[in-house]
Amino acid sequence: MTPEPPELIGSGDVPTVLVKDHADREILCFLEHLIPLDGKDYALLTPVDTPVCLVRMAEGEDEKDEVIESLEGAEPILSVADVVLQEHDLTLVRSAVTLTVSGELEEPDPDELEDDIEDGEDDDESDLYELLIAFRANDQEYGLYIPLDPFFVVARIEGSEAVVVEGEEFERIQPRIEAELDEREREG
């Protein structure tokens, strides 16, 4: 008897999977691909809600914007972001893997993105993210940015659960998952 697959939620065209990380935080994702490796099933997923990153914005010309990688100790800043987002009927979610925003977001205008590139702003990372909101906390300006490239989550299917793949396991299987997807693309 094979173990039950993770519970697939929703009745849309693309099934969704609830994924947990090592801290028991969850993120609801669309199932993009299921990839068997070494007798285990791995899933390539995209978040249902919009992924965002917290950025400390540069105050002077000598400084650069800084993506806040570790959110440990950032709760006072995130609380301010919560209030600002609520004004736009959006909710900040402390999800597994990344922060996400739930609610109805306006789609980026492709013409505006092209204008940014034409204005010479393509020499740094500004064309990789779109500013969702800017706000001040602790006398510092911050922003929540939406990555414009697709954001993927890799999870291992364990019985009826899906668990985020991190660290050494991710480093080990990531090239193999990419190779499998390339192979599928060539065959398809």
More confident residue, 114 or 25: 25
Phi, psi of 103 (to 5 degrees): 130, 175
- pLDDT score of 127: 67
Whole-prediction pTM value?
A: 0.79
What are the distances in angstroms from CA 138 to CA 77, 142, 143?
8, 10, 13
> Do β-strands 16-20 and 161-164 pair in parallel, antiparallel, or remain unpaired?
parallel
Average the pLDDT over each of 9-13, 91-95, 112-116, 159-163 and give the range with the smallest value.
Answer: 112-116
Tell me how far apart the alpha carbons of residues 147 and 100 are, in angstroms, rounded to a whole number.
11
Q: How many other β-carbons are positioned within 10 Å of the β-carbon of residue 75?
A: 10
Residue 3 has pLDDT above 50, yes or no: no
Tell me how far apart the alpha carbons of residues 52 and 145 are, in angstroms, rounded to a whole number.
5
Helix (H) or strand (E) holding 85: helix 75-86
Average pLDDT of the segment spanning 162-179: 94
How confident is the model over 26-84, as pLDDT tens digits?
999 999 999 999 999 999 999 999 999 999 998 888 889 999 988 888 999 999 999 99
- pLDDT score of 28: 95
Tell me how far apart the alpha carbons of residues 185 and 34 are, in angstroms, rounded to a whole number.
14
Share of the chain above pLDDT 70, in %: 82
Q: Hey, what are 161's tokens?
A: 């659960």
Q: Which residues fall within 8 angstroms of residue 173, CB to CB, at 6 or more apart? A: 37, 42, 154, 165
Average pLDDT of the segment spanning 153-170: 92
Q: Hey, what are 112's tokens?
A: 């505006």
- pLDDT score of 123: 45
DSSP 14: S
Q: How many other β-carbons are positioned within 10 Å of the β-carbon of residue 113?
A: 13
